[in-house]
Amino acid sequence: MRKVKGLQGRWLRNTLSIVLGLVLLCVLALSLTVAVYYYSNMQAGMEAKARTGTSFFETYINRSYNEYYQSCAKFTRNFDSKDVMELQFINTANRIVASSYSQVSQPAAVTSDITEAIETRRISVFTGKNPTTGERIMAVSSPLIYSNGEVIGVLRYVSSLSKVDRQIMLFSLTVALVGAVILLIVYISGRYYLRSILIPVSEITATAKRIAAGSYGAQIQRQFDDEIGELADTINDMSNQISRSEKMQSEFISSVSHELRTPLTAISGWSETLLSAGGSVEAAETRRGLNIILRESKRLTGMVEELLEFTRMQDGRFTLNVTQSDIRAEFEDTVFMYGSRLAQEGIELQYLENDGDIPEIPCDASRMRQVFLNLLDNAAKHGGEGGKITTEICADGGDVVIRIRDFGPGIPEEELPLVKKKFYKGTSKARGSGIGLAVCEEIVTMHGGTLTLANADGGGTLVTIRLPITDA
């Protein structure tokens, strides 16, 4: 038989061990119960016969010893249970005076019940082997007391235990057979049940190994509407997410490579142009080239900083320097600083004044400025064609609310749940790394706030930041 290994083997061994133990315990307990029942009933019946016999002799046979012995012989001859037990009359010299089927005037078997009955003047029971034949017997001896109070012998019933022992053995074997059948049923059902679990688990394991080896997107066919089915669905979802993440990372690498290449190409090209031309380039052209180099260098620096910020977040090294800050002042400074830049690009940046009181809140002012700049830059990149961006800040209940809206084409509805995910760029052709919004959301979340994106009524995208107002 093939050795069963693994979870199946451990389960079967443990289960079968428990069931086998229970079966053996049941066989032992039932066998003992039956044995006690048979032996106790047999003993009770023999004791009852012994009491009845001795009572008869003590009541009616008391006139002479001769009459006594004659009555013993007659009593044994008329004994109606001689097919199942032997009736003996034994004197104090341990000789058989009368017997239902053995020879008389011969020594009786030396068993404890005879001497105990004579000595104690009470009924005594012996269960064990016959010293003469070696057969297992049960013997009950009752003292015979003459009219003068003298114990003149015992009335003894002797019965073989062979039939009883066979019945007990047969019962025990029957119980053991039933237990073996139960054990076999448990084994077969256990194997079948485990196979119904382990086969799909093996398939899940194989698919998980394929995913680990790089087959992202591999799927498991769901066969059961239970925990196994839920596990299969979970693995499938994980596989899909890994596949999407892998695709997004690949796109991110490609995008970042392109984004880095563009400013580097501009910087390299203009540097070569200015160097090769020597002093022959006009001042205006030189200034234009230097401005391009400066602008692309700043853009390159910003992209590198964004990547570093993201890396620190992923590694858990991103921290906040929280102080009590005037969030309105920080937001207004950022808006007015960025507004002049957008004006050069033909984009109007409006700040909607709000006279409501906005308390100071605990935050990292530089990090929040980073968020504001990133969101304004995104609004300009993706919604700048609308020619206008509006901003506002106000207190709403227990939150400070910041809104930034552009008037561009908005975000496709199917992309709204994804745009804040890392590496996701969507269908927009605007330049970017795909991690800016992910960084912004992480910063806002670390402040205990929320960042949401939605398509505004009338067109464009509305970004809403909520930061909790807490006491200093």
Same domain, 158 and 251: no
Q: Is residue 365 part of a domain?
A: yes
Using pLDDT thresholds of 50, 70 and 90, give the confidence band for residue 55: confident
Q: Is the confidence at residue 2, as pLDDT, over 50?
A: no
Same domain for 378 and 285: no
pTM listed for this prediction: 0.44
Q: What is the reported pLDDT for 178?
A: 87
Statement: residue 472 has pLDDT above 70: no
Which one of 312, 337, 363 terminates a domain?
312
Token representation of residue 400? 């400070």
Distance CA 29, CA 31 (A): 5
Q: Is the pLDDT of residue 124 over 90?
A: yes
Residues 334 and 308 in one domain: no
Q: Above 70 in pLDDT, residue 61?
A: no
How many domains would you assign to the chain? 3
pLDDT band per the 50, 70, 90 thresholds, residue 157: very high
Query: Residue 392 sits in which domain range?
Result: 323-468
Percent of the chain topping pLDDT 90: 12
- Residue 302 confidence class, pLDDT cut points 50, 70, 90: low
Considering 312, 341, 371, which residue would you say is the last residue of a domain? 312
| Statement to judge: residues 372 and 328 lie in one domain | yes
Instruction: Kindly state whether residue 92 falls inside one of the protein's structural domains.
Output: yes
Secondary structure string (H, E, C) spanning the chain: CCCCCHHHHHHHHHHHHHHHHHHHHHHHHHHHHHHHHHHHHHHHHHHHHHHHHHHHHHHHCCCCHHHHHHHHHHHHHCCCCCCCCEEEEEECCCEEEEECCCCCCCECCCCHHHHHHHHHCCCEEEEEECCCCCCEEEEEEEEEECCCCCEEEEEEEEEECHHHHHHHHHHHHHHHHHHHHHHHHHHHHHHHHHHHHHHHHHHHHHHHHHHHCCCCCCCCCCCCCCHHHHHHHHHHHHHHHHHHHHHHHHHHHHHHHHHHHHHHHHHHHHHHHHHHHCCCCCHHHHHHHHHHHHHHHHHHHHHHHHHHHHHHHHHCCCCCCCEEECHHHHHHHHHHHHHHHHHHCCCEEEEECCCCCCCCEEECHHHHHHHHHHHHHHHHHHHHHHCEEEEEEEEECCEEEEEEEECCCCCCHHHCCCCCCCCCCCCCCCCCCCCHHHHHHHHHHHCCCEEEEEECCCCCEEEEEEEECCCC
pLDDT of residue 3: 46
Residue 255 has pLDDT above 60, yes or no: no
What are the pLDDT digits (tens) for 83-104? 888 888 888 888 888 888 766 6
Average pLDDT over residues 326-349: 86
For residue 463, is it within any domain? yes
Reported as a pLDDT band with limits 50, 70 and 90, residue 464 is very high
* CATH label of the domain that carries residue 40: 3.30.450.20
Are 107 and 256 found together in one domain? Answer: no
Q: Are residues 240 and 378 in the same domain?
A: no
Report pLDDT for 234: 79
Res 253: pLDDT: 64
Q: Which of 291, 312, 333 is the last residue of a domain?
A: 312
Position 43 pLDDT exceeds 80: yes
Same domain as 359, residue 306: no
pLDDT by residue (tens digit) across 363-378?
Answer: 988 888 888 988 888 8
Q: Is residue 170 over pLDDT 70?
A: yes
Q: Is the pLDDT of residue 391 over 90?
A: yes
Let me know whether 327 and 383 are in one domain: yes
CB contact set of 454 (below 8 Å; sequence gap of 6+): 416, 461, 462, 464
287, 328: one domain: no
Residue 393 has pLDDT above 50, yes or no: yes
Sign of CA dihedral 178, 180, 186, 192: negative
pLDDT tier at 8, thresholds 50, 70, 90: low
Q: Which residue has the higher pLDDT, 265 or 314?
A: 265
Asked which of 65-69, 178-182, 384-388 is least confident by mean pLDDT, the reply is 65-69
User: Would residue 181 count as lying in a domain?
Assistant: no
| Whether residue 450 has pLDDT greater than 50 | yes
Question: 24 and 46: one domain?
Answer: yes
Whether 191 is in a domain gets the answer no
Q: Which CATH number does the domain housing residue 460 bear?
A: 3.30.565.10
> Would you state the pLDDT for residue 370?
84
Determine the pLDDT at residue 60.
Answer: 67
Q: What is the mean pLDDT of residues 61-76?
A: 74
151-160 and 86-91 strand pairing: antiparallel
**Whether residue 35 sits in one domain with residue 92:** yes
Q: Considering only 144-148, 271-275, 343-347, which range has the smallest mean pLDDT?
A: 271-275
The mean predicted confidence, pLDDT, of the chain is 79
What pLDDT band is residue 141 in, cutting at 50, 70 and 90?
very high
Please say if the pLDDT value at position 431 is more than 60.
Answer: no
Mean pLDDT calculated for residue range 356-362: 88
Q: Is residue 178 part of a domain?
A: no
Indicate whether 393 belongs to any domain.
yes
My answer on whether 90 and 12 are in the same domain is yes
Q: Is the pLDDT of residue 81 over 70?
A: yes
Checking if the pLDDT of 330 tops 80, the result is yes
Q: Which residues contact 81 (CB under 8 A, 6 or more apart)?
A: 49, 87
Q: In this structure, is residue 143 part of a structural domain?
A: yes
